């Protein structure tokens, strides 16, 4: 090994604490990058392979009822590769001994195995056989959550009549990677499941002989999706087509895509913060190191080493740190990625999901580490390169202090000499002080921006479950009903209040913008449901015209006062122009609202009840649920309390698992920054500290010089940290938002406090560790060496 490389190795060893502190920050960037991009790629690879293997459709359509012959006509549309029709039927599932409203979505499958799209992957057992109408395949997640297995039996109320189903298979399908019943905010795998039954059996049970109500098809390469959707809509119009849609509007696909987008957002925000801090730290440490090694640099150059040999030597210091960080970060990234993949495997229904990271991800992560370290090293390295031997070997000019604004500040504040030492040192090295303040602020900001997601969830929980939805039960019906059904429900003992609600599928068109959504309505004086604005205020239903959610309005580029065209999808096709009455800020979905009268005008029928919202006497819950389950017209029941619990459970799980990582990652920055600042400060001021000791100052008083500066910089970083956190949080909230839902930006004041406390603790702990050096200060040795 060359002498210069030996020196590099020894320097690294000598400064191992500082080097490691930087490496950990850099490793956090690498780890986040590897983990988020790795999980992202793994999910996409898995999804695409799954879609391809099981022939997931490109376009989907629901209709009231169409003859099977429509499939052949759809197949003949130009650009359509394959088409397949099926029956999809919601049902209520009963478990003996449990009074829980459980819903199922039953899909028909061909008993002869002739299906070509959205194929079921069997985990166990077999598909339903011809002539065995009681056979069903159950989705794996639902089966696991409810302890169902092959040969198990469940009672299902399908289309108003009770059927006993025998489970012959456990499986999953690409159109149900994510499954959530309509109108629900969170998936609850124990209360909503996907079933598959033979076509003949389901035709019989739902009175749809040779008829279908769902269609999916694949496209030939290069076909325009929009054209085919239009053609399919035309074909399905007479059959109550609710409008065909592509993958991007498919619930399962969209939820997965939403998750993928969030992972991407994570990759875009967090690693850059860590990379920035690392570059700063490398800059500060290397500049100081080159400063102290001036004479050595001069000497080595005098021996005949080239400028670039010296430059390379110091760059090597930074690159060695990046090297350690890449390995450390990659290992941590793989480990964390595995954990997160396991969480995804629990909530998404994949037949296989392995965390595989392609080599380019590691290379890119390492490349970023090296780039950040190299960039940080640049300033110092160029100084070393430019230094001429003669200049380098003469002692550096003493640090010049001037009576600047800090001095005036000092006079005003009546500082002691120690106070002056602290303040003037900060002012003397503004870049380094700024790096420390910025670094700690970024750490606080990052922690805050992650922690406020919990506030966002809580706020969403509050708005959605406590203010917008106040019903105990939601009852959906097989078909829209007239108001008589409300009386029927109100007669059930224990039902306190019944309110109707209805949603109709429409396409809203404004200028060149068109969007499919649902218009919902309820009674004017509704007590069980409400529209809540982002600021928490109640938004009343407009007497005339539409109330649009902000997201929908933005999509349509419509403002209050504009007129939009509303086309009814499904059933009769009506079309009309309606004014936009006002806009409401909502977090979930992109919906429109109208009065019952307006809705009736759009729908053109006299059946105002799609869903009934019930308030019940809690003591009567079980008999009510039993009675609702037995009513033939009831399609399904959902319980607000259960959804709330589920949502709360998700928040709690997030708190326990993610908070640890947030705190660990943010602390890594704070510790890295404070440790390096304190070490540099100590080495720079060792001489002065020793002098103070000689003059009769106690170690604890001398430590104040060190801790005072760190404390001052840390305190200065607090407001900046809150500001950075506020900005980062808004950025991440925006990046995490999708068509499905948006996160409210509702940070609690206490969240700022917690972020600050965590970072302060990390800073104080680190500074305390370094300040122990003051107690070990060897005055004689320090003073013997000339400053």
| Residue numbers at the binding site for other proteins (CB under 8 A) | 397-403, 416-418, 420-421, 424-425, 428, 687-688, 691-699, 701, 779-780, 783-784, 786-787
What's the first-to-final CA gap in the chain, in angstroms? Answer: 32
Determine the distance from the C-alpha atom of residue 291 to the mean position of all C-alpha atoms in its chain, rounded to a whole number: 45
Minimum CB distance to other proteins smaller for 356 or for 402: 402
The least CB distance from residue 428 to other proteins, in Å, is 7
Minimum CB distance to other proteins smaller for 532 or for 692: 692
The least CB distance from residue 780 to other proteins, in Å, is 5
Q: Which of 442, 374, 385 is nearest to 28 (CA)?
A: 442
The least CB distance from residue 384 to other proteins, in Å, is 24
Minimum CB distance to other proteins smaller for 427 or for 497: 427
Any idea of the CA torsion for 692, 694, 697, 700, to the nearest 10 degrees? 80
**Sequence-separated contacts (24+) of 293-297 with Cβ below 8 Å:** 294/387, 294/392, 294/393, 294/396, 295/392, 295/393, 295/395, 297/384, 297/387, 297/392
Minimum CB distance to other proteins smaller for 61 or for 692: 692
Minimum CB distance to other proteins smaller for 769 or for 782: 782
The least CB distance from residue 17 to other proteins, in Å, is 23
Question: Rounded to an integer, what distance in angstroms lies between the CA atom of residue 236 and that of residue 428?
Answer: 77
Minimum CB distance to other proteins smaller for 184 or for 407: 407
Q: What is the DSSP string of 421-486?
A: HHHHHHHHSHHHHHHHHHHHHHHHHHHHHHHHHHHHHHHHHIIIIIIIB--SEEEEEEEEE-THHH
The least CB distance from residue 430 to other proteins, in Å, is 14
Minimum CB distance to other proteins smaller for 359 or for 785: 785
Residue 207 contacts residue 159 (beta carbons within 8 Å): yes
Minimum CB distance to other proteins smaller for 96 or for 398: 398
Question: Rounded to an integer, what distance in angstroms lies between the CA atom of residue 550 and that of residue 531?
Answer: 12
Joined together, the tokens standing for residue 547 give 């109330």
Minimum CB distance to other proteins smaller for 697 or for 726: 697
Minimum CB distance to other proteins smaller for 17 or for 417: 417
Query: What's 65-90 look like in SS3?
Result: EEECHHHHHHHCCCCEEEEEEECEEE
The least CB distance from residue 417 to other proteins, in Å, is 5
CA angle 757, 759, 764 (to 5 degrees): 90
The least CB distance from residue 694 to other proteins, in Å, is 5
Q: Which of 569, 576, 566 is nearest to 509 (CA)?
A: 566
The least CB distance from residue 397 to other proteins, in Å, is 8
Question: Rounded to an integer, what distance in angstroms lies between the CA atom of residue 194 and that of residue 109?
Answer: 12
The least CB distance from residue 6 to other proteins, in Å, is 20
Residue 541 contacts residue 520 (beta carbons within 8 Å): no
The least CB distance from residue 436 to other proteins, in Å, is 17
Question: Rounded to an integer, what distance in angstroms lies between the CA atom of residue 765 and that of residue 761?
Answer: 6
Measured between alpha carbons, how far is residue 78 from residues 75, 142, 232 in Å?
8, 39, 11
Minimum CB distance to other proteins smaller for 577 or for 695: 695
Work out the burial of residue 238: count CB atoms within 10 Å of its CB; fewer than 13 is exposed, 13-18 middle, 19 or more buried.
Answer: exposed
The least CB distance from residue 420 to other proteins, in Å, is 6
Question: Rounded to an integer, what distance in angstroms lies between the CA atom of residue 642 and that of residue 464?
Answer: 14
Residue 198's CB is within 10 A of a number of other CB atoms, namely 24
Measured between alpha carbons, how far is residue 25 from residues 321, 325, 719 in Å?
10, 8, 22
Question: Rounded to an integer, what distance in angstroms lies between the CA atom of residue 529 and that of residue 613?
Answer: 8
Sign of CA dihedral 541, 544, 546, 550: negative
Question: Rounded to an integer, what distance in angstroms lies between the CA atom of residue 623 and that of residue 99?
Answer: 8
Minimum CB distance to other proteins smaller for 111 or for 709: 709
**What residues have CB less than 8 Å from 435, skipping those under 6 apart?**
280, 281, 283, 284, 673, 677
The least CB distance from residue 786 to other proteins, in Å, is 5
Joined together, the tokens standing for residue 322 give 């990046």
Measured between alpha carbons, how far is residue 576 from residues 494, 513, 544 in Å?
42, 16, 13
Minimum CB distance to other proteins smaller for 284 or for 426: 426
The least CB distance from residue 398 to other proteins, in Å, is 5
The least CB distance from residue 18 to other proteins, in Å, is 23
The least CB distance from residue 693 to other proteins, in Å, is 7
Tokens 């970023």 found at = 368
Query: What is the number of residues in the chain?
Result: 787
The least CB distance from residue 446 to other proteins, in Å, is 33
Tokens 């070997």 found at = 393
The least CB distance from residue 10 to other proteins, in Å, is 17
Question: Rounded to an integer, what distance in angstroms lies between the CA atom of residue 298 and that of residue 294?
Answer: 6
Minimum CB distance to other proteins smaller for 404 or for 536: 404
Minimum CB distance to other proteins smaller for 427 or for 642: 427
Residue 46 contacts residue 260 (beta carbons within 8 Å): no
The least CB distance from residue 712 to other proteins, in Å, is 14
Minimum CB distance to other proteins smaller for 412 or for 695: 695
Q: Residues 465-481, buried b or exposed e (16+ Cβ, 10 A)? A: beebbbbbbbbbbeebb
Minimum CB distance to other proteins smaller for 418 or for 633: 418
Minimum CB distance to other proteins smaller for 420 or for 470: 420
């Amino acid at each position: 090994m060359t002498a210069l490389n030996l020196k590099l190795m020894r320097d690294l060893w000598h400064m191992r604490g500082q080097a490691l502190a930087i490496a950990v920050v850099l490793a956090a960037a690498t780890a986040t990058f590897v983990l988020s991009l790795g999980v992202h790629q793994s999910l996409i690879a898995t999804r695409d392979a799954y879609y391809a293997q099981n022939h997931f459709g490109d376009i989907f359509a629901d209709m009231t009822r169409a003859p099977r012959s429509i499939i052949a006509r759809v197949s003949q549309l130009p650009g359509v590769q394959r088409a397949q029709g099926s029956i999809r039927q919601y049902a209520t599932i009963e478990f003996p001994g449990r009074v829980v409203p459980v819903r199922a979505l039953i899909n028909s499958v061909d008993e002869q195995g002739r299906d070509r799209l959205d194929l079921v992957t069997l985990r166990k057992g077999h598909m339903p056989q011809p002539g065995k109408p009681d056979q069903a395949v159950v989705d794996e997640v639902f089966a696991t959550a409810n302890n169902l297995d092959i040969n198990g039996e469940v009672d299902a109320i399908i289309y108003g009549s009770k059927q006993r189903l025998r489970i012959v298979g456990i499986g999953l399908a690409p159109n149900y990677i994510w499954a959530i019943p309509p109108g629900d905010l969170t998936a609850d795998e124990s209360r909503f499941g996907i079933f598959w039954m033979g076509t003949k059996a389901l035709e019989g049970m739902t009175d749809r002989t040779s008829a279908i109500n769902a269609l999916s098809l694949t496209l030939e390469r290069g076909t325009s999706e929009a054209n085919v959707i239009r053609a399919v809509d035309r074909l399905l119009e007479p059959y109550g087509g609710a409008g065909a849609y592509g993958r991007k509007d498919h619930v399962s696909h969209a939820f997965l895509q939403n998750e993928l987008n969030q992972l991407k957002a994570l990759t875009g925000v967090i690693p850059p913060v860590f990379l920035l801090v690392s570059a700063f730290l490398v800059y500060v440490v290397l500049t100081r190191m080159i400063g102290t090694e001036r004479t050595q640099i001069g000497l080595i150059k005098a021996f005949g080493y080239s400028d670039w040999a010296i430059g390379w030597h110091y760059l090597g210091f930074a690159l060695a740190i990046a090297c350690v960080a890449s390995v450390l970060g990659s290992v941590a990234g793989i480990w964390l990625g595995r954990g997160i993949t396991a969480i995804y495997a629990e909530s998404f229904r994949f037949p296989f999901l392995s965390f595989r990271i392609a080599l380019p991800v590691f290379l890119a992560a390492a490349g970023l580490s090296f780039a950040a370290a190299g960039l940080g090293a640049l300033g110092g390295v160029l100084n070393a390169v430019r230094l001429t031997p003669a200049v380098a070997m003469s002692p550096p000019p003493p640090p010049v202090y001037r009576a600047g604004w800090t001095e005036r500040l000092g006079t005003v504040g009546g500082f002691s000499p120690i106070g002056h030492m602290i303040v003037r040192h900060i002012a003397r090295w503004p870049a380094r002080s700024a790096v420390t303040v910025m670094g700690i602020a970024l750490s606080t900001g990052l922690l805050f921006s992650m922690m406020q997601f919990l506030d966002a969830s809580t706020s969403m929980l509050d708005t959605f479950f406590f203010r917008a939805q106040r019903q105990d039960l939601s009852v959906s019906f097989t078909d829209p009903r007239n108001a008589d059904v409300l009386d029927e429900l109100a007669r059930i003992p224990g039902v306190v209040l019944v309110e109707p609600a209805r949603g109709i599928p429409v396409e809203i068109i404004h200028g060149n913008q068109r969007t499919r959504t649902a218009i919902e309505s309820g009674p004017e004086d509704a007590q069980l449901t409400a529209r809540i604005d982002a600021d928490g205020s109640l938004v009343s239903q407009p007497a005339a015209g539409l109330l649009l959610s902000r997201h929908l309005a933005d999509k349509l580029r419509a403002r209050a006062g504009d007129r939009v065209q509303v086309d009814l999808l499904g059933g009769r096709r009506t079309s009309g122009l309606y004014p936009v009455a006002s806009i409401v800020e909502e977090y979930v979905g992109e919906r429109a609202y109208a009065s019952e009268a307006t809705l009736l005008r759009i729908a053109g029928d006299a059946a105002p009840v799609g869903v009934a919202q019930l308030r019940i006497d809690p003591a009567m819950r079980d008999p009510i649920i039993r009675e609702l389950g037995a009513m033939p017209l009831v399609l399904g029941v959902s319980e607000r309390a259960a959804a709330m619990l589920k949502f709360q459970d998700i928040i709690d799980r997030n708190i326990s698992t993610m908070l640890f990582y947030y705190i660990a990652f943010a602390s890594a920055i704070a510790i890295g920054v404070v440790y390096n600042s304190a070490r540099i400060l100590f080495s720079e001021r060792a001489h002065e500290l020793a002098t103070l000791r000689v003059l009769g100052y106690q170690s604890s008083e001398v430590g104040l010089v060190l801790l005072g500066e760190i404390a001052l910089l840390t305190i200065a970083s607090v407001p900046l940290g809150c500001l950075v956190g506020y900005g980062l949080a808004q950025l991440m909230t925006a990046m995490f938002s999708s068509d499905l839902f948006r996160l409210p930006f509702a940070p609690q004041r206490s969240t700022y406090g917690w972020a600050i406390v965590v970072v302060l603790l990390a800073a104080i702990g680190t500074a305390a560790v370094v300040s122990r050096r003051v107690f070990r200060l060897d005055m004689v040795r320090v003073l013997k060496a000339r400053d």
